[in-house]
Structure 1
Amino acid sequence: MWQDIKMLNAIANTLIGLAMLVLLAAGIWWIAQLPMFTLKEIRVQGEGQNEVRRVNPLTIRASALPRIKGNFFTTNLDTVRTAFESVPWVRKASVQREWPNQLVVNIEEYQPLGTWDDDGHLISTKGDIFIANMDEAEEDGKLPVFSGPAGSEKDVVARLADFKNWFGPLKLTPTEVNLSSRYAWSVKLDNGMEVQLGREKNSMTLHDRANRLVEIYPQLLERLQDRIESIDMRYANGLALKASGLAIDSVSALKKKTK
């Protein structure tokens, strides 16, 4: 082998090449460790045109920043993203480097729509369940109450918009929306009245029942004033109601209740 000049040249070239790669890597590593690349700023901003409203800078300093290691080149962006997504009110975070020593963190905050069940959870406008400070969530006013079986969150959120539209002609707004374990719907309105709408047999079932209530409600209000506590619309041709000091099984000749 030692007499094979071509092979010796090839080995020598290979060793030289490896040595140059090692030197290059060492040079890059040395440059990457220069003080100018030490992270000087982590800029947090809202996603798109949205401002960061509820994410607390003190919480970021306490829970997110201590988990960020390395400099401009060596810090792991996925680790940074995960650290910020663990902060209350952060739904989603994205991170990018900004030359030569900054990170930019774009944050999408949860937008609270209401409370979920009775366990202190909140539900967002996108149907996400999350935990955050309730006082902060209700700084713009008391939130509606939602409940339903696991996995029904987005359906319940979508139904709120329907209830607002359907009961809008009565100038009444939903304050509670409930989907029972049997998938029967009920809604409580801001006058304190609870409306039982039952199960959704087809796309028009709930809408038709709500419309019947809208049509007859002015007559009920005229007779019973603000005494109505609950109305059951799960009848084929009428309704049943409960008022303060009064219970009426039917407003018209009702047939068998459909549940």
Structure 2
Amino acid sequence: MNVIAEGFDNPSLKSTSTKDHFLGGVFLLLVVISIITVVYSTVSWMTDSQRLPLSRVMIEGKLTHVSPNEVQDVLSKVPNMGTFMTQDVNSLQAALKTLPWVKQVSVRKQWPDLIKAYIVEYKANAIWNSNALLNANGKVFNGNPADINSNIVNLYGPDGSSEKVLSVWETSNRLLKPLGRTITSVVLNERRAWQIILDNGIRLELGKDARENRLNRFIQLYRRLGDKAEQVSYIDLRYDTGAAIGWISDDESSQESNK
């Protein structure tokens, strides 16, 4: 007959259970330590500039004014440059956007140590106030006029007027095209009066109002001048009808102050 006693502890079973719990706790502790060690080693590896340095730069794009040395120099000044794994490409893009002539830039990393920068340059449509440049929309951008190799128009005007002055230059150039003349300068002064200088040196005083009508009056007058146009210094069109012509003297050009 088998007798089962209830309510009595079995010392051997209790000892085994305690031992199992202890071993389970030790195993869990070892697992946690192993995970921490792996994470620490991985983070140390990712942040070790000696193991994962960003040591090379590749520049892509059709570039005329941005040089590799400029790119390398600005990237070398990025504070707290990280490793391949930790470096934020947005900060690199922001640094490159500060370079003159840079319109757009895209930066990406390529394993194991390469930075690829694709750069799009601005196209200069005009020199603005002698010390800045305008794009096709009349926006001032960060570029040096001294970098321009070809002759482009010089535009002048008060702050905030660049779009208007560029538009007037484009419109006036189209009107003058049948004459075979181009514009070298357009000036909008503080009193909002217009002045245009042609490629043959003639200065046109157009005043504030009826600019296109006055320019059309010049076109008619210019055709009537024929060969005499080569002796013209300026033409003042700030009249309801007609114009005043200033002629080049033998030794110097005559001058007239703006009204």
Shared fold per TM-score greater than 0.5: yes
Does residue 29 of the first structure (1) align with residue 33 of the second (2)? no
Match of 2:167 among 144, 151, 158: 158
Hey, what's the Cα distance between the residues in 2 that align with 1:125 and 1:189?
A: 21
Checking the alignment, whether the CA contact within 8 Å between 1:36 and 1:100 is kept in structure 2 is: no
Checking the alignment, whether the CA contact within 8 Å between 2:206 and 2:215 is kept in structure 1 is: yes
Q: Which residue of 2 aligns with 1:44?
A: 59
User: What secondary structure is seen at the aligned counterpart in 2 of 1:86?
Assistant: coil
Unaligned stretches of 5+ in structure 2?
Answer: 1-24
Hey, what's the Cα distance between the residues in 1 that align with 2:52 and 2:93?
A: 20
User: What secondary structure is seen at the aligned counterpart in 1 of 2:66?
Assistant: coil
Q: Which residue of 2 aligns with 1:5?
A: none
Hey, what's the Cα distance between the residues in 2 that align with 1:236 and 1:152?
A: 26
Residue 94 of structure 1: CA displacement? 2.7
Residue-pair matches, total? 222
Hey, what's the Cα distance between the residues in 1 that align with 2:52 and 2:167?
A: 48
Q: Which residue of 1 aligns with 2:243?
A: 239
Checking the alignment, whether the CA contact within 8 Å between 1:95 and 1:105 is kept in structure 2 is: yes
Matching of residues 66-85 of structure 1 within 5 Å: 66-67=77-78, 69-85=81-97
Q: Which residue of 2 aligns with 1:230?
A: 234
Residue 37 of structure 1: CA displacement? 4.1
Checking the alignment, whether the CA contact within 8 Å between 1:116 and 1:129 is kept in structure 2 is: no
User: Which residue identity is paired with 2:231?
Assistant: R
Checking the alignment, whether the CA contact within 8 Å between 1:91 and 1:108 is kept in structure 2 is: yes
Matching of residues 1-259 of structure 1 within 5 Å: 26=40, 28-30=42-44, 32-33=46-47, 37-46=52-61, 51-67=62-78, 69-118=81-130, 120-126=131-137, 127-132=139-144, 134=146, 136-137=147-148, 139=149, 141-200=150-209, 205-222=210-227, 224-245=228-249
Task: Show CA shifts across 1:12-36 (max 9, x none).
Answer: 9xx99x9899677546524534767
User: Which residue identity is paired with 2:174?
Assistant: N
Hey, what's the Cα distance between the residues in 1 that align with 2:38 and 2:91?
A: 28
Quickly say closer, same or farther: Cα 1:177–1:25, change in 2 above 3 A. farther
User: What secondary structure is seen at the aligned counterpart in 2 of 1:112?
Assistant: coil
Residue 133 of structure 1: CA displacement? 6.1
Hey, what's the Cα distance between the residues in 2 that align with 1:234 and 1:55?
A: 45
Hey, what's the Cα distance between the residues in 1 that align with 2:222 and 2:96?
A: 50
Task: Show CA shifts across 1:178-215 (max 9, x none).
Answer: 11112222111101011122225xxxx32222222212
Hey, what's the Cα distance between the residues in 2 that align with 1:176 and 1:104?
A: 40
Hey, what's the Cα distance between the residues in 1 that align with 2:155 and 2:181?
A: 17
User: Which residue identity is paired with 1:104?
Assistant: K
Checking the alignment, whether the CA contact within 8 Å between 2:127 and 2:145 is kept in structure 1 is: no
Hey, what's the Cα distance between the residues in 2 that align with 1:162 and 1:23?
A: 71
Hey, what's the Cα distance between the residues in 1 that align with 2:128 and 2:174?
A: 22
Hey, what's the Cα distance between the residues in 2 that align with 1:25 and 1:229?
A: 80
Hey, what's the Cα distance between the residues in 1 that align with 2:39 and 2:236?
A: 76
Hey, what's the Cα distance between the residues in 1 that align with 2:205 and 2:189?
A: 11
Hey, what's the Cα distance between the residues in 2 that align with 1:178 and 1:53?
A: 29
Greater Rg, structure 1 or structure 2? 2
Task: Show CA shifts across 1:15-61 (max 9, x none).
Answer: 99x98996775465245347674324322222xxxx11111112222
Hey, what's the Cα distance between the residues in 2 that align with 1:133 and 1:188?
A: 19
Task: Show CA shifts across 1:81-100 (max 9, x none).
Answer: 22212223223323233345
Hey, what's the Cα distance between the residues in 2 that align with 1:108 and 1:160?
A: 26
Hey, what's the Cα distance between the residues in 2 that align with 1:238 and 1:21?
A: 92
TM-score (norm 2): 0.72
Unaligned stretches of 5+ in structure 1?
Answer: 1-11, 248-258
Hey, what's the Cα distance between the residues in 1 that align with 2:165 and 2:40?
A: 58
Checking the alignment, whether the CA contact within 8 Å between 1:167 and 1:173 is kept in structure 2 is: yes
Q: Between the two proteins, what is the percent identity of the paired residues?
A: 24
Quickly say closer, same or farther: Cα 1:182–1:24, change in 2 above 3 A. farther
